């Protein structure tokens, strides 16, 4: 049980900055997901917390203790790696025990913890096998087990699901979430998959270019993206980012000063006029992609030619090149400034 | 590929059989010679079929040797060869494992310098620096000792490079996981790296054992006392009995005994041998 | 040069780990080599009291010495003959083994073991076979009207050491050719077969060109072998004779240094040999570079 505090944490390789000053407080028992495109610094950040990368400047506190200079083993953390990093020459039991043995844990305690972890993860029957005899999902469980038996202050997950196939990934995601709720261990979880991030996180940390773009609950981040980057990164299909010039004078009315881009989620754009105030845009249909319960409608705004995606329920009968009017409620518009890259209204918190 | 050309298959096997005959014949001849008595070599042609003196000849060489040629009993030379080959193989493997480990898993000043110093040993086989190397060993008082016979030969660039290549293929995460699990550098080396290197170590051992066994020039230089003779150099002494015709049957018994251990290693550990040979040359 | 993404932070440990290897290398390799280079530029007076720095005199004397020039020539003949003979035999055998399916393990086992035979033992085996009085070689040659005595005839002595040295190297070349042949994709030969190429044409137009990296590699290794690993073989068969006909460089450097005790000349010979190894190694590694990043 522990908190993690990162204070102005920086990392550069030579002159190339990878992490440019990150502040983050992780509450006890919280699962924080670091998400961002590859090269955004999220993995480096996690590896600094683990002690696998040296820190250029700043502080890392785990359970109130400054660990910047501490060896990984002294930080009371456990880590789950992308490729599982199971010791290939040891049995599953050997893998689970190794960290405990190194710490001089008494035999009875080791056995108790290994059996308990094996029960939780349902890998009891695999204990005497070698990693190469296991399936991807089973290896994933063993990797989790190796973290659990340690009963550490914090779990660190480095893209633990990205080597699994799509179906197994969803299943393991649910299990990780349930497990973390049950154990209530403070966790940092790195992923590039925004859907995984949204479903797992107590709070999200969206990173880009070595900086934190936004920290918030999944709902906050989705509903009020703080920056243009977050707006484009979180959500699938991504938020439409439309220059105000393409909205016409009617649509641009009443936006905060300095706004030159408006974001609107595909599902907030409607093809039927809703009740109450709304803006209307003229468009030409490009392509309709039915994806089951809903459809993605690709259109181009008339005049500007701006491409836009709508997420519409069911399978509307719209012919290609048909003209149509699309609507959005003013409350669904997210105003941004392309100069600062930030939101221009004050709702956003960070 | 399905291809039916009987004459081609015939030629193929013919080529192979001729090849095997060429390879085996000299040794067959030596074996046959080693089973005859001394009188059988006076008739102007070596015998081509085995004779009755197998046990007698081998027994005599193993237990007595030929004192007139200054050759001690073969069992002494064979055990010297065995000891030396094992020390050389193990020594090379140990120091190469350690240096490859340092080069791959640590960063430190002069790392490249160390790498190049090791690399240079490839370019300095003992044959090209005999006299000064001999002088060093003599000055250190290492003539006529197992240390003198082995130590100067145990630096190994090839083994170091092989282990370095292998270590580079071990996923970074494995070492990171071990560190998170509380393993320091030596613990990681012992618990993870060594067990994973098992096959490579075994393959290399086969090659280096042979290397150590067949050494000739170096033992020839640094040993003058017969109790340190190795079998390979001892045989030469037997064969080179100046003006008289050598005692062929006894020389050939020694030849067979000297060949046997490394040849058996190759035959029975062929898979490891091939792996070792091909990998060290990469 | 590559290391791991994360490394251990210890400052002293890597030096401790490297110490044994570096100590052996410095004491028994670098230092003697440096000594050889140094004495190659010096002359020692007959009593060993004084050494004089004489620049390249040892070298100029060496290269004007007929015995040394002869040795250079013999070495070249020997190395080229061994390389060609051994490699062509091995390639033939490797191609044949690659064609047979069931019995290839047996053939391979029967062909590879000479690798483990010491060069000096190889020398003794062939010396025995071609012994002018009792050897089976001379006996059969007499039937053909050839009088074999490599103790007198320099050409015959050279032929003998070339045969012996090639015999030992067959196993090594064979294994590498087999490995090379196995890495030629089957689909290529199949495509050529569909295009109507017969087995011989397929070999020369498809397989042999694709083997060229292996061939080139073996070329260097064999030259290296013939020049430096055959000391024992020469020592056991001909002692460099008759009349220096098989006195190759490594044998001469030993004979001049240990038996003749000419330090300056022997040192200069050592340095020349080192330069040859350096060139061969450099060529080999330039080529190997593609496979291995150092």
State ipTM: 0.89
The residue among C146 and B92 whose pLDDT is bigger is: B92
Band (pLDDT 50/70/90 cuts) for residue A217 is very high
Close Cβ partners of B2 (under 8 Å, ≥ 6 residues apart):
none
pLDDT in tens, C213-247: 889 889 989 999 999 899 999 988 888 878 888 89
- Give the pLDDT confidence score for residue B175 in this predicted structure: 92
The helices-and-strands tally (H runs, E runs) of chain B is 15, 0
Angle between helices B231-239 and B248-268 (to 10 degrees): 150
Q: Which sign does the torsion angle of CA A140, A145, A148, A154 carry?
A: negative
- Give the pLDDT confidence score for residue C48 in this predicted structure: 66
Residue B49: count other Cβ atoms within 10 Å of its Cβ.
7
Residue B1 pLDDT more than 80?
no
A314 shares its domain with A248: yes
Phi and psi dihedrals of A334, rounded to 5? -110, 110
Q: What is the largest CA-CA distance in chain C?
A: 78
Q: Is B183 on the interface with A (CB under 8 A)?
A: yes
3-state secondary structure of A312: strand
Q: Which structural domains are found in chain B, ordered by start?
A: 78-280 (1.10.3720.10)
Close Cβ partners of A172 (under 8 Å, ≥ 6 residues apart):
A137, A140, A160, A161, A164
- Give domain status of residue A23, yes or no: yes
- Interface residues on A facing C, Cβ-Cβ cutoff 8 A: 47, 52-54, 71
CATH number for the domain that contains residue A31: 3.40.50.300
Domain extent, residue A287, equals 239-336
Nearest by CB to A85, from B173, B191, B195: name it. B173
| Terminal C-alpha separation, chain A | 25
Q: What is the largest CA-CA distance in chain A?
A: 75
A192 shares its domain with A246: no
Helix-strand-coil split of chain B, %, nearest 5 = 75, 0, 25
A102 shares its domain with A217: yes
Q: β-strand A334-336 against A307-313: which pairing, if any? A: unpaired
- Give domain status of residue A233, yes or no: no
Under 8 Å between Cβ of C36 and C270:
yes
In A103-158, which residue ranges form alpha helices assigned H by DSSP? 107-121, 136-148
CB contact under 8 A, B182 and A87: no
Among residues C246, C230, C289, the alpha carbon closest in space to that of C154 is found at: C246
A66 shares its domain with A208: yes
Q: What is the 8-class DSSP label of residue C2?
A: -
The residue among C100 and B137 whose pLDDT is bigger is: B137
Nearest by CB to C25, from B101, B121, B135: name it. B121
- Give domain status of residue A28, yes or no: yes
- Give the pLDDT confidence score for residue C1 in this predicted structure: 65
A212 shares its domain with A250: no
A141 shares its domain with A289: no
CB contact under 8 A, B179 and A77: no
Phi and psi dihedrals of A90, rounded to 5? -105, 155
- Give domain status of residue A162, yes or no: yes
Q: What is the 8-class DSSP label of residue C259?
A: I
Q: What is the 8-class DSSP label of residue B66?
A: B
Q: Which residues pair with A34 in a beta bridge?
A: A190, A205
Close Cβ partners of C29 (under 8 Å, ≥ 6 residues apart):
B120, B121, B124, B129, B133, B155
- Give domain status of residue A46, yes or no: yes
- Give the pLDDT confidence score for residue B281 in this predicted structure: 64
A115 shares its domain with A190: yes
3-state secondary structure of C286: helix
Mutate: best of A50, A54, A72, partner B, most B CBs <10 A? A72
- Give domain status of residue A341, yes or no: no
Q: Which of residues 152-211 of B touch C (CB under 8 A)?
A: 152, 154-156, 160-161, 165, 168, 172, 175-176, 179, 184-186, 188, 210
What average pLDDT does range C21-48 have in this prediction? 86
Helix-strand-coil split of chain A, %, nearest 5 = 30, 30, 35
At the top level of CATH, the class of C74-288 is mainly alpha
Six-digit token string for B117: 């110093």
The last residue of a domain, from among A207, A228, A249: A228
pTM of the model: 0.86
Six-digit token string for C157: 């002595």
Band (pLDDT 50/70/90 cuts) for residue B46 is confident
Q: What are the strands of the beta sheet with A65-66, ordered from one edge?
A: A16-26, A4-13, A57-62, A65-66
- Give domain status of residue A344, yes or no: no
What is the DSSP code string of A313-347? ES-----TT-EEEEEE-GGG-EEE-TTT-BBSSS-
What average pLDDT does range A157-173 have in this prediction? 90
CATH number for the domain that contains residue A259: 2.40.50.140
CB contacts, 8 Å: A83 with chain C:
none
Q: Is B225 on the interface with A (CB under 8 A)?
A: no
Whether a cis peptide bond, with omega within 30° of 0, leads into C242 is yes
Distances (CA, A) of B191 to A102, A142, B159, B181, B215: 11, 19, 21, 12, 34
pLDDT in tens, B105-154: 998 888 999 999 998 888 888 878 888 888 899 999 999 999 999 999 99
Mutate: best of B30, B127, B240, partner C, most C CBs <10 A? B127
The last residue of a domain, from among A177, A200, A228: A228
Q: How many domains is chain A built from?
A: 2
The last residue of a domain, from among A179, A197, A228: A228
- Give the pLDDT confidence score for residue A315 in this predicted structure: 85
What average pLDDT does range C191-219 have in this prediction? 85
pLDDT in tens, A131-155: 999 998 899 999 999 999 999 999 9
Band (pLDDT 50/70/90 cuts) for residue C138 is confident
CB contact under 8 A, C134 and B44: yes
Long-range CB contacts for residues B188-195, cutoff 8 Å, separation at least 24: B188/C8, B189/B101, B191/A87, B191/A98, B192/A87, B192/A89, B193/B101, B193/B167, B194/B97, B195/A89
Residue A350 pLDDT more than 50?
no
3-state secondary structure of C9: coil
- Give the pLDDT confidence score for residue C240 in this predicted structure: 82
Nearest by CB to B187, from A81, A84, A102: name it. A102
Under 8 Å between Cβ of C6 and A53:
yes
Phi and psi dihedrals of B106, rounded to 5? -135, 155
User: From CA B265, how far away is CA A178, in angstroms rounded?
Assistant: 56
Distance from CA of B60 to the nearest CA of C (A): 20
- Give the pLDDT confidence score for residue A308 in this predicted structure: 92
User: From CA C61, how far away is CA C54, in angstroms rounded?
Assistant: 11
Q: What are the strands of the beta sheet with A279-290, ordered from one edge?
A: A307-313, A294-301, A279-290, A323-328
């Amino acid at each position: 049980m522990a908190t993690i505090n990162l204070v102005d944490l920086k990392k550069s390789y030579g002159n190339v900055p990878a992490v440019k000053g990150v502040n983050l407080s992780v509450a006890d028992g919280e699962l924080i997901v670091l998400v961002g495109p590859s090269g955004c610094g999220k993995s480096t950040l996690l590896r600094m917390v683990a002690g696998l990368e040296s820190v250029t400047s700043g502080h890392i506190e785990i359970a109130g203790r400054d660990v910047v200079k501490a060896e990984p083993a002294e930080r009371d953390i456990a880590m789950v790696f992308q490729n599982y990093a199971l010791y290939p020459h040891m049995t599953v039991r050997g893998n689970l025990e190794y960290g405990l043995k190194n710490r001089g844990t008494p035999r009875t305690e080791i056995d108790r913890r290994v059996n308990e972890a094996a029960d939780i993860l349902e890998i009891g029957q695999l204990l005497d096998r070698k990693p190469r005899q296991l399936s991807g999902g089973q290896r994933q469980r063993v990797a989790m087990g190796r973290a659990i038996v340690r009963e550490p202050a914090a779990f660190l997950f480095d893209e633990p699901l990205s080597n699994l196939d799509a179906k197994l990934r969803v299943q393991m995601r649910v299990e990780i979430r349930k497990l973390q709720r049950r154990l209530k261990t403070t966790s940092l979880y790195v992923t590039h998959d925004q859907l995984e991030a949204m479903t797992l996180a107590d709070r999200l940390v969206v990173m880009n270019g070595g900086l934190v773009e936004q920290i918030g609950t999944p709902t906050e981040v989705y509903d009020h993206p703080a920056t243009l980057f977050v707006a484009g990164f979180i959500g699938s299909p991504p938020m439409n980012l439309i220059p105000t010039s393409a909205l016409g004078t009617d649509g641009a009315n009443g936006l905060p000063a300095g706004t030159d881009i408006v974001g609107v989620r595909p599902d907030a754009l409607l093809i039927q006029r809703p009740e109450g105030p709304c803006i209307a845009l003229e468009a030409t249909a490009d392509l309709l992609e039915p994806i089951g319960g809903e459809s993605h409608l690709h259109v181009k705004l008339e005049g500007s030619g701006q491409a836009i995606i709508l997420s519409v329920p069911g399978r509307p009968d719209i012919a290609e090149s048909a003209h149509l009017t699309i609507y959005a409620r003013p409350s669904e518009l997210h105003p941004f400034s392309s100069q600062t890259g930030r939101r221009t209204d004050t709702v956003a918190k960070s | 590929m399905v291809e039916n050309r009987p004459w081609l298959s015939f030629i193929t096997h013919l080529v192979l059989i001729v090849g095997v005959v060429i390879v085996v014949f000299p040794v067959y001849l030596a074996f046959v010679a080693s089973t005859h008595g001394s009188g059988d070599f006076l008739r102007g042609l070596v015998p081509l079929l085995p004779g009755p003196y197998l046990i007698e000849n081998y027994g005599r060489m193993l237990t007595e040797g030929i004192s007139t040629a200054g050759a001690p009993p073969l069992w002494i030379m064979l055990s010297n060869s065995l000891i030396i080959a094992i020390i050389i193989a193990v020594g090379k493997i140990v120091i190469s494992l350690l240096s490859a480990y340092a080069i791959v898993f640590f960063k430190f000043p002069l790392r490249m310098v160390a790498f190049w110093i090791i690399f240079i040993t490839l370019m300095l086989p003992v044959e090209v620096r005999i006299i000064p190397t001999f002088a060093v060993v003599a000055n250190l008082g290492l003539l006529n000792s197992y240390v003198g016979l082995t130590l100067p030969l145990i630096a190994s660039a090839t083994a170091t490079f092989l282990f370095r290549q292998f270590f580079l293929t071990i996923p970074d995460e494995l070492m990171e996981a071990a560190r998170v699990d509380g393993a320091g550098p030596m613990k990681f080396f012992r618990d993870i790296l060594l067990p994973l290197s098992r096959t490579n170590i075994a393959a290399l051992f086969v090659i280096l054992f042979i290397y150590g066994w067949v050494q000739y020039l170096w033992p020839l230089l640094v040993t003058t006392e017969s109790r340190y003779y190795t079998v390979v150099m001892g045989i030469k002494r037997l064969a080179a009995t100046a003006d008289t015709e050598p005692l062929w049957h006894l020389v050939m018994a020694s030849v067979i005994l000297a060949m046997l251990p490394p040849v058996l290693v190759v035959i029975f550990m062929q898979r490891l041998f091939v792996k070792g040979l091909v990998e060290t040359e990469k | 040069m590559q290391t791991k993404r994360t490394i251990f932070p210890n400052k002293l440990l890597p030096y401790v780990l490297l110490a044994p290897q570096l100590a052996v290398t410095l004491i028994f390799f670098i230092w003697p080599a440096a000594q050889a280079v140094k004495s190659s530029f010096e002359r020692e007076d007959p009593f060993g009291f004084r050494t004089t720095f004489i620049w390249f005199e040892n070298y100029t004397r060496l290269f004007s010495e007929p015995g040394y020039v002869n040795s250079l020539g013999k070495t070249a003949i020997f190395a080229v003959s061994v390389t060609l003979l051994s490699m062509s035999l091995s390639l033939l055998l490797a191609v044949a083994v690659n064609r047979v399916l069931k019995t290839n393990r047996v053939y391979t086992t029967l062909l590879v073991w000479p690798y483990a035979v010491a060069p000096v033992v190889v020398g003794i085996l062939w010396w025995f076979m071609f012994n002018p009085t009792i050897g089976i070689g001379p006996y059969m040659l007499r039937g053909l009207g050839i009088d074999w005595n490599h103790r007198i005839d320099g050409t015959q002595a050279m032929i003998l050491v070339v045969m012996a040295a090639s015999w030992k190297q067959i196993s090594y070349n064979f294994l590498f050719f087999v490995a090379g042949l196995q890495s030629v994709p089957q689909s290529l030969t199949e495509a050529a077969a569909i295009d109507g190429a017969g087995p011989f044409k397929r070999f020369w137009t498809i397989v042999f060109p694709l083997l060229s990296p292996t061939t080139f590699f073996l070329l260097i290794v064999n030259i290296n072998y013939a020049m430096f690993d055959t000391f024992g073989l020469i020592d056991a068969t001909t002692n460099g004779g008759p009349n220096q006909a098989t006195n190759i460089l490594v044998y001469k450097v030993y004979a001049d240094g240990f038996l003749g005790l000419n330090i300056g000349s022997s040192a200069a010979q050592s340095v020349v040999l080192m330069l040859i190894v350096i060139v061969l190694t450099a060529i080999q590694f330039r080529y190997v570079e593609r496979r291995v990043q150092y």
